[in-house]
Amino acid sequence: MFLYIIGLVAFWFVFRWYRELARVPNKGEKYVYITGCDSGFGNLLARHLDKLGFCVIAACYTEKGEDELKKVSSERLNTVHLDVISTDSVNKATAFIKTLVGEKGLWAVVNNAGVSVPSGPCDWMTVDDYKSMLDVNLIGVIGVTLSVLPLIKKARGRVVNVASVFGRISAFGGPYCVSKYGVEAFNDSLRMNMSAFGVKVLCLEPGFFKTSVTDLNLLRKNVKTLWDNLSEEIKDQYGHDYPERANVTLEKNVATLLDGDLMKVVSCMEHAISALHPRTRYSPGWDAKFLWLPMSYLPTWIADKMLLKDMAKPTGSIL
């Protein structure tokens, strides 16, 4: 019986691998809109899809990002300025895309733009801290998607949302996990709504990768900025050496988990865009597959103990 089960599992993986090899035809006629192309995943994806023959519309936050991307790309690639928290900026980008794609519609939008700070214990945060991140990581995703959804429905194309494995499990405090849980919920509801129109909605849940949003200097500065704005009462509760202990935890946990191979994520993005039969969800990164996702299925009290074990503790902690 056990051998039959192993055989069925092996057959399923071989079948899935073979089925996922097929790619969509006429790539040169398909437009792909990517946000957050100044650096990181978005920049690599724009260049990768351009080499594969797609018509890329790369949205950058800075003029420098646009200029540098144009230098290393073909004439097929178009850039556009985009600030995802600005309705005016989103609308201008959408107007440009409508003119560009015409009656063909838009094959795919990749919601890649995002930020990782401020992050820290929830009682260090203000409502404005939550709003600032939700505006980018969640409302920005929704706004960009809705702005081009009629064009995607016309092409029966794809919506690719970059969430995070921390949209499945909250491994730390602050608004980041909240925003990614929101992306997961938006992705799932949109997927069901759009299935009737032939639109596929896919989600990426990467683990820790070495990008600008996981830069240790940025994360250390984030801890210092938040700490400096705290009341003396909260500082006393955590202990005045807490920032140093938190930074040691960052070095120990985050630095050791960072994966420098960004193409693991970009390959999943490309598959979601170009595969005839894409997956509903992708979990690039060894930590996502073998650490965080399995942990998310554990009973809460077990997962909490595992997570709290490696966290810096407040001086007055009862744990």
Q: What span, in angstroms and rounded, lies between the C-alpha atoms of 115 and 218?
A: 11
Cα end-to-end span (Å), the chain: 45
Q: Are 246 and 223 in contact (CB under 8 A)?
A: yes
Look up 242 and say whether it is catalytic: no
Q: Go through the chain and tell me how many residues it has.
A: 319
Q: Are 128 and 248 in contact (CB under 8 A)?
A: no
Q: Which residues pair with 305 in a beta bridge?
A: none
Strand pairing category for 108-111 and 158-162? parallel
Q: What secondary structure does DSSP assign to 175-193, as a single string?
A: HHHHHHHHHHHHHHHHHHH
Two structure tokens written together for 237: 């509760």
Q: What is the DSSP letter of 275?
A: B
Q: Which entry of 31, 176, 181, 282 is annotated as an active-site residue?
A: 176
Q: What span, in angstroms and rounded, lies between the C-alpha atoms of 288 and 214?
A: 15
Active centre residues (catalytic): 176
